[in-house]
Amino acid sequence: MLNVSIVLYNTAFEEIERLVRILRKVSCVNTIYLVDNSAIINPEFKNLPIEYIFNNKNIGYGAAHNIALRKSLELKTDYHLVVNPDITFEPQILDEIYKFMNKNAEIGHLMPKVFYPGGQIQYLCKLLPTPFDLIFRRFLPSRWTEKQTHKFEMRESRYNKVMDVPYLSGCFMFLRVSALKEVGLFDERFFMYPEDIDLTRRIHQKYRTVFYPDVSVVHHHAQSSYKNYSMLWIHISNMIKYFNKWGWFFDKERRRINNTILKIK
CA distance 91 to 211: 19
Report the C-alpha dihedral over residues 134, 138, 144, 145, rounded to 10 degrees: 30
How many Å separate Cα 34 from the centre of its chain? 16
Tens of pLDDT, residue by residue, the chain (265 residues): 999 999 999 999 999 999 999 999 999 999 999 999 999 999 999 899 999 999 999 999 999 999 999 999 999 999 999 999 999 999 999 999 999 999 999 999 999 999 999 999 999 999 999 998 877 666 666 776 788 899 999 999 999 999 999 999 999 999 999 999 999 999 999 988 899 999 999 999 999 999 999 999 999 976 544 456 778 888 889 999 999 999 998 899 999 999 999 987 5
Number of helical H runs and strand E runs in the chain: 9, 11
CA distance 79 to 3: 6
CA distance 239 to 7: 21
CA distance 187 to 84: 18
Q: Which stretches does DSSP call E strand in 166-259?
A: 167-168, 172-176, 208-219
Q: Look up the pTM and report it.
A: 0.94
As to burial, measured by CB atoms within 10 angstroms (0-12 exposed, 13-18 middle, 19+ buried), residue 154 is: buried
Domains in the chain: ranges and CATH: 2-264 (3.90.550.10)
